[in-house]
């Protein structure tokens, strides 16, 4: 296939993929400080990840270090940002403009990482027609029409738990391809749908538990 891009085609393991944003955050700091080169040993020391692990993770992306000096900082930032998709624009809708949904609409950090939230939807009629952080909120019945106009692939799921499965099915029927699930509910989806679970409340439980064990 002529259009295939070998860079994007690399299937790197998910744990490696999850570490790449850490390296990016770190090398962006070095860039701001005007550093030119960085070795995997230096990254390792500063972010507490094994140096050989870092070298291995970075071997999956299209960059190679130079003997003795290491990776070129500017290139590393650029290659990581591209690889991670942070330089593209991914349109997203938020489903459920309650407390967490509204909070995410406020978070302009998402746009810096390539996610452009273009609309929010809610079942509450009184929310329809409002704007949060410059982003319009519509009644859920307008989803189909807005999807035709705006064409979003990503749906952010922040509805109450009892509506999570129903909202998921609605999103998929409307053409959403990837669901970022912030609810603690385990949604069921067809195989071709991407799901990313980010249950911040589950993380809370892990933290409370560790804190309790600490006290003993």
Near a copy of itself by CB under 8 A: residue from 118, 123, 135, 178: 178
Is 134 annotated to bind a ligand? Reply is no
Instruction: Tell me: does residue 13 bind a copy of itself (CB under 8 A).
Output: no
Q: How far is CA 104 from the centre of its chain?
A: 12
Residues between 135 and 164 that touch a copy of itself (CB under 8 A): 153-154, 161-162
Using the structure block, give the residue that is written with the tokens 């019945």: 141
Which residues inside 78-137 make contact with a copy of itself, applying CB under 8 A? 84-86, 88, 90, 99-100, 102-104, 106-110, 113-115
Minimum distance of a copy of itself from residue 55's CB (angstroms):
16
Taking the chain, what is the end-to-end CA distance rounded to the nearest angstrom?
Answer: 60
Distance, CA of 104 to CA of 28 (rounded, Å)? 24
Q: Is 96 within any annotated ligand binding site?
A: yes
| Number of residues counted as binding a copy of itself (CB under 8 A) | 71
Residue carrying structure tokens 């230096």:
42
Q: Is 108 annotated as a binding residue?
A: no
Alpha-carbon distances of 77 from 9, 83, 120, 139, rounded to whole Å: 20, 10, 32, 40
DSSP class of residue 142 equals G
Task: By CB under 8 A, tell whether 184 contacts a copy of itself.
Answer: yes
Build a one-symbol-per-residue string for 69-88: x at contacts with a copy of itself by CB under 8 A, - elsewhere: ---------------xxx-x
Binding positions: 96-101
């Amino acid at each position: 296939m002529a259009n295939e891009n070998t860079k994007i085609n690399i299937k790197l393991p998910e744990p490696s993929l999850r570490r790449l944003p850490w390296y990016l955050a770190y090398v962006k700091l070095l860039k701001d400080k005007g550093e030119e080169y960085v070795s995997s040993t230096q990254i390792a020391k500063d972010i507490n990840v094994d140096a050989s692990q870092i070298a291995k993770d970075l071997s999956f992306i299209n960059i190679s270090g130079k003997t003795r000096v290491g990776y070129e900082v500017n290139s590393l930032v650029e290659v990581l940002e591209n690889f991670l998709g942070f330089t593209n624009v991914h349109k997203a809708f938020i489903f459920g403009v309650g407390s967490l949904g509204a909070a995410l609409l406020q978070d302009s950090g998402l746009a810096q990482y390539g996610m452009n939230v273009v609309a929010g939807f809610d079942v509450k009629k009184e929310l329809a027609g409002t704007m949060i952080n410059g982003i319009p909120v519509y009644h859920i019945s307008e989803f189909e029409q807005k999807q035709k106009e705006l064409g979003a692939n990503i749906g952010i799921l922040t509805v109450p738990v009892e509506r999570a499965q129903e909202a998921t099915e609605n999103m998929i029927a409307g053409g959403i391809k990837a669901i970022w699930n912030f609810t603690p509910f385990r949604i069921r989806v067809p195989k071709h749908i991407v799901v990313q679970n980010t249950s911040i409340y589950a993380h809370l439980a892990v933290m409370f538990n560790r804190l309790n064990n600490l006290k003993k």
